[in-house]
Amino acid sequence: MGPNRDIVYHNQQVTGITLSDDPLVHTPGCSRFGQVLLCLAMLTSRIDMQSIQQSVGLGGVNRKADVILAQTLLNRYAKTHSSRLVVDGVAGAATVSAIKRFQREKAGMNKPDGRIDPGGRTLGALLGGKRLRIAWGGRTSSTFNAKVIKIAAAMDMSPDYLMACMAFETGETFSPSITNAAGSGAIGLIQFMPSTAKALGTSVQALKGMSAVQQLKYVEKYFSPYQGRLQNLEDVYLAVLYPAAVGMNPSQALFRRGTLTYTQNSGFDKNKDGIITPAEISLKVRAAYEKGLTTGYMG
């Protein structure tokens, strides 16, 4: 909800969890996808054409790291919201279809093969010779964007999903000091609750005095228990809002009419069927995701 949060289970999962000061330092905790994006984040102007290490798509090797990056890039060219891929690292029929469509419509291939090869024509067209741009990156600094790419790398998630969540949580300001208007005491990029800040080794007062880039250290710490589990936008947002629901099917019932949790969050029940799903809870975040990928916001 951004600063006007009304759901009651906001980012409480870290209590009792021991977190390292810098998860990125530990190589075993950073997947192949992480290594790919970490390399991308270090570049200042252009993406290494070998950023996809092995083939993706029909008949490809389809390592998860490479598939996630390919899906992220393909989503830049989706014509409609509904045609965007779920960035889950699985090279299924939808991903192969998107590759073929891109090859036919953007890469000028009369006989698309549905595969992206390292250094090949399709990858070159996807990258366009440019640096990796992310959702909402046009509204934040290059230093901030590079750090977000690093965090996404460590967590095996799309940087676009993380940016969308922070845009929504801060009312599109990306302010590290923005507070919850409802008086919960939550603050900052992902609306850290006081108890969460304490579990992370800081305080809301300290977080308020940080720059946005400095506060990203605690965003990273917050998400570290979910490394490898954030398969879609709903997972990323629910890790912030209601951690117990991470990994749920977006259409699965989360709250049902007749329970206290449903009553407290009934505003999310858009179709008034007595069931609140992760997809319903994430509708506004998805709108932020789509907006962040448009001209003037992506960067």
Give a yes or no: residue 264 inside a domain.
yes
Would you tell me the crossing angle of helices 233-241 and 159-169 to the nearest 10 degrees? 40
Residue 32: the pLDDT is 52
- Which residue in this structure is represented by tokens 């009369």? 110
Q: With CA atoms as reference, report the closest residue to 137 among 149, 129, 151, 123.
A: 149
Give a yes or no: residue 70 inside a domain.
yes
> Could you tell me the two tokens for 93?
């029929």
User: What span, in angstroms and rounded, lies between the C-alpha atoms of 144 and 282?
Assistant: 24
Phi/psi-derived region of residue 2, left when phi > 0, alpha when psi is between -120 and 50, beta in every other case: left
| Domain edge (last residue) among 112, 127, 142 | 127
User: What span, in angstroms and rounded, lies between the C-alpha atoms of 196 and 273?
Assistant: 33
**Same-domain pairing of 163 and 285:** yes
Burial grade of 114 (CB within 10 A; 0-12, 13-18, 19 or more): buried
pTM exceeds 0.85:
no
pLDDT tier at 31, thresholds 50, 70, 90: low
**Same-domain pairing of 63 and 200:** no
| Domain edge (last residue) among 109, 127, 145 | 127
Pairing verdict, β 115-116 and 255-256:
unpaired
pLDDT tier at 33, thresholds 50, 70, 90: low
Output the domain CATH number for residue 60: 1.10.101
Number of H helices, E strands in the chain: 13, 4
Instruction: Report the domain count for the chain.
Output: 2
% pLDDT > 90, the chain:
67
User: What span, in angstroms and rounded, lies between the C-alpha atoms of 24 and 27?
Assistant: 7
Distance set, CA 200 to CA 14, 15, 179 (Å): 7, 8, 18
Work out the average pLDDT over 225-240. 94
Whether pLDDT at 27 is above 60: no
Give a yes or no: residue 217 inside a domain.
yes
Q: With CA atoms as reference, report the closest residue to 76 among 151, 130, 143, 112.
A: 130
**Contacts for 202-207: CB closer than 8 Å, 24+ residues apart:** 207/176
Domain ranges, residue 253: 2-27+155-292
Distance set, CA 16 to CA 78, 196, 240 (Å): 42, 10, 17
Give the helix/strand (H/E) hosting 255: strand 255-256
**Same-domain pairing of 249 and 173:** yes
**Same-domain pairing of 238 and 161:** yes
Work out the average pLDDT over 6-34. 40
Residue 70: the pLDDT is 95
Q: What is 41-98 written as a DSSP string?
A: HH-SS---TT-S-S-EETTS---HHHHHHHHHHHGGG-SSGGGPPP-SS---HHHHHH
- Which residue in this structure is represented by tokens 């858009």? 270
Could you tell me if 76 and 125 are in contact, meaning their C-beta atoms sit under 8 angstroms apart? Answer: no
Residue 215: the pLDDT is 99
**Same-domain pairing of 86 and 194:** no
**Same-domain pairing of 121 and 248:** no
Residue 11: the pLDDT is 58
Residue 16: the pLDDT is 30
**Same-domain pairing of 163 and 273:** yes
Whether pLDDT at 51 is above 80: no
pLDDT in tens, 133-170: 899 999 999 999 999 988 998 888 999 999 999 999 99
Work out the average pLDDT over 75-102. 94
User: What span, in angstroms and rounded, lies between the C-alpha atoms of 179 and 192?
Assistant: 9
**Same-domain pairing of 118 and 217:** no
DSSP state of 266: G
**Same-domain pairing of 118 and 190:** no
